[in-house]
């Protein structure tokens, strides 16, 4: 599976949902799959300052 830009995020999601159908993954200049639960937690103060 391969994807570029927003297609890379789609390829990531497809590989995550159906790993048995994905032999390999190439994601170029794309967006990562994020964790909404982790995104609700604040970073350590030093990281938030940046």
Angle at 47 (CA atoms; ends 43, 49), nearest 5 degrees: 110
Q: pLDDT tens across 1-50, in order?
A: 899 998 999 999 999 999 999 999 998 988 778 788 888 888 899 988 88
Q: What is the pTM of this model?
A: 0.62
Which distant-in-sequence residues (6+ apart) come within 8 Å of 33 by Cβ?
9, 12, 13, 16
Backbone φ and ψ for 16, nearest 5 degrees, come out as -70, -45
Residue-level pLDDT at 36 = 84
Residue-level pLDDT at 39 = 81
Residue-level pLDDT at 21 = 94
């Amino acid at each position: 599976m391969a994807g570029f830009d927003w297609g890379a995020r789609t390829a990531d999601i497809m590989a995550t949902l159906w790993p048995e159908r994905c032999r390999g993954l190439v994601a170029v200049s794309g967006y990562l799959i994020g964790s909404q639960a982790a995104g609700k937690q604040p970073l350590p103060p030093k990281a938030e300052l940046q």
